[in-house]
Amino acid sequence: MTQSRTMEFNSLRVHFLEGYIQNIILVEQEGRLLLFDSGCINDVKRIQRYCQENLHRSPTDIKLTAVTHIHPDHAGGAVCLRKRFGIPIAAHKDVDRWYRGMSGLLQHQLDCYLATVVAVRNRRRLEQIHYRRRINPDYRLEDGQKLPFFPEWKVIHVPGHIAHDLAFYHEKEQVLYTADLICDVKGQPQLPLPIVFPQKMAESYDRLGSLPVRAILRAHGKPIITENSAEIFAKMRQLLNQPPTPFVQRIWKLSNHSPEIKKLDYK
């Protein structure tokens, strides 16, 4: 059986599946299923198995894959899930720009390589995680929109980690899915790797810190239950002021090839 745990809210049951290098979050809402990020391409089998063995449902019951950004551990399985099970994809309207052209191709290869390094460091068996660098979303999202089929979830554009990152926010339940924005190293909150646009990242943390949030769901690390989410995001913002270690600098250097970086002219 796929390793998992669940969390209950008034109108939601959230399933956390252990993916190849990240959590996969499957939200059950009035019997309907919403997938937050698709995991890596090799996580498709884990999602399928979980639906069938744990929920006794078909993966075709998943109404939507809502993708936060194009990295391998978030968008890697999305196209495969659509092809096999007919699950539509919602993502930022410009999500496919990040890996465009030759420099985008290079960045995509590097990101697949870096994801594999993470898998090896986590003592995972080596598996193929290469995926199509364009996901061609069925629903092109913008800041402030609501998720298709799940209008309780609001779309928030939170650039910084890369350019087209999204977070998803359930206002009534005060639940926020932040994907990579608060990572975890040995139980401590950590910045994502890389941060391509530090100034935008600071603004994104400020924005998330202004929302009433009692549960933060994450792709890397356990969910955070809190009565003071503003403080958590303020701390994340402070971490941006620390000078990057040589290791972090190396990752940043490997992450500055997307053609979007020059075009957007973010700081």
Does position 200 interact with Zn ion (CB under 5 A)? The reply is no
Tell which one of 37, 43, 173, 180 touches Zn ion (CB under 5 A): 180
Does position 92 interact with Zn ion (CB under 5 A)? The reply is no
Does position 111 interact with Zn ion (CB under 5 A)? The reply is no
Instruction: Pick the piece of the chain touching Zn ion (CB under 5 A) from 27-35, 65-73, 198-206, 258-266.
Output: 65-73
Angle at 238 between CA 161 and CA 198, to 5 degrees: 30
Q: If we measure between CA atoms, which residue out of 183, 115, 192, 118 comes closest to residue 160? A: 192
Tokens of 114: 């870096």
Distance of CA 249 to the CA centre of its chain: 22
- How many angstroms separate the CA atoms of 116 and 7, rounded? 29
Residue nearest to Zn ion as judged by C-beta position: 71
Does position 152 interact with Zn ion (CB under 5 A)? The reply is no
Does position 71 interact with Zn ion (CB under 5 A)? The reply is yes
> Which residue do the tokens 């810190």 mark?
209
Tokens of 29: 């809402």
Instruction: Pick the piece of the chain touching Zn ion (CB under 5 A) from 7-15, 66-74, 101-109, 136-144.
Output: 66-74
Nearer to Zn ion, 98 or 153 (CB): 98
Minimum separation from the CB atom of position 22 to Zn ion (A) = 9
> Which residue do the tokens 């000078």 mark?
243
Nearer to Zn ion, 55 or 251 (CB): 251
| Stretch (H or E) spanning 222 | none
Binding footprint of Zn ion on the chain (CB under 5 A) = 71, 180
